[in-house]
Amino acid sequence: MSVSAPTRITPVGRMTPFRAQRIWERNYLVYKRLWSIIVSGLFEPIFYLFSIGIGLGALVGDLEGPGGVMVPYTVFVAPGLMAAAAMNGTVTETTFNIFFKLRFSNTYEGILTTPMTPRDIAIGEIGWALLRGALYATVFVIVMAFMGLTQSWWAIAAIPGAILIGFAFGAVGLAATTYMKSWQDFDLVQLATLPMFLFSATFYPIDVYPPAIQQLVKLSPLYHGAELLRGFTLGVVDWSMMWHVAFLLIMGLVGGAIASKRLTKLLKP
């Protein structure tokens, strides 16, 4: 008796976001048994905040923040660390985890025997990374408020700001993963994220650089993320922040479009 291979089910006329949420449900069931992995991601940025922000902050003193406001070093660096955490969390989720599903566990081949499409998978995986990032951002803002590192109620807006950072990096991370062939390719991920972490005005103002280097730093997505969150946590909110929002939004949309196209090609039945 022969068994025929599973066939694709033609998607019915249903909105993509509703199909994409099935990816969230699947990931939730998986991480429900691995909850310690989710929780562990909360501690890294907080440890950085205590070690660098508080320890080094006692030596640095005050720095100039957005709008020329002088603030303690810990207040300056906290939103930068929050932006970096949003970047690292979503990049990890949409690179290492997706690569394993895509190249080894054949997770998506099984999913595509349902009405799901590669576009649904892309939206679902990016959305899951954002849900995870939203959890981290919320906890981080609470810690900042508890430590007295927020200067305004605008700090609440740092949560959707961090989600936007996650969207930009998560979409590009997923797109990049579709081009990776082996685990060694992940060295390139660190090659991209580590310099951004160190040199995107995360730990010190951009004006410490020569003018030419400042223009180069402004091309860093993490710079836009750090400046956006710093403006919210300090309560220095103006229309110039829309430039940071637009940069990250366009980055995410372009990355998401590439990821969807690449997944469609790789998972073609």
User: In this structure, is residue 9 part of a structural domain?
Assistant: no
What is the mean pLDDT of each successive set of 10 residues along the chain, which is 269 residues long? 44 56 78 70 77 74 78 89 89 86 82 82 86 84 87 90 93 92 87 91 88 91 94 89 95 93 83
The DSSP string of 115-151 is T--HHHHHHHHHHHHHHHHHHHHHHHHHHHHHTT---
User: In this structure, is residue 11 part of a structural domain?
Assistant: no
Contact predicate 124/94, CB 8 Å: no
User: In this structure, is residue 98 part of a structural domain?
Assistant: yes
* Per-residue pLDDT at 16: 55
User: In this structure, is residue 166 part of a structural domain?
Assistant: yes
Number of domains present in the structure of the chain: 1
* Per-residue pLDDT at 171: 92
User: In this structure, is residue 175 part of a structural domain?
Assistant: yes
User: In this structure, is residue 62 part of a structural domain?
Assistant: yes
Which domain range does residue 99 map to? 23-266
H-type alpha helices, the chain: 16-32, 35-48, 57-60, 73-92, 98-103, 107-111, 118-146, 158-177, 186-199, 211-217, 221-234, 241-266
* Per-residue pLDDT at 37: 67
* Per-residue pLDDT at 100: 86
Q: How far is CA 144 from the centre of its chain?
A: 19
User: In this structure, is residue 135 part of a structural domain?
Assistant: yes
* Per-residue pLDDT at 53: 67
pLDDT per position as a tens digit, 204-238: 888 888 988 999 999 999 999 999 999 999 988 88
User: In this structure, is residue 1 part of a structural domain?
Assistant: no
* Per-residue pLDDT at 246: 96
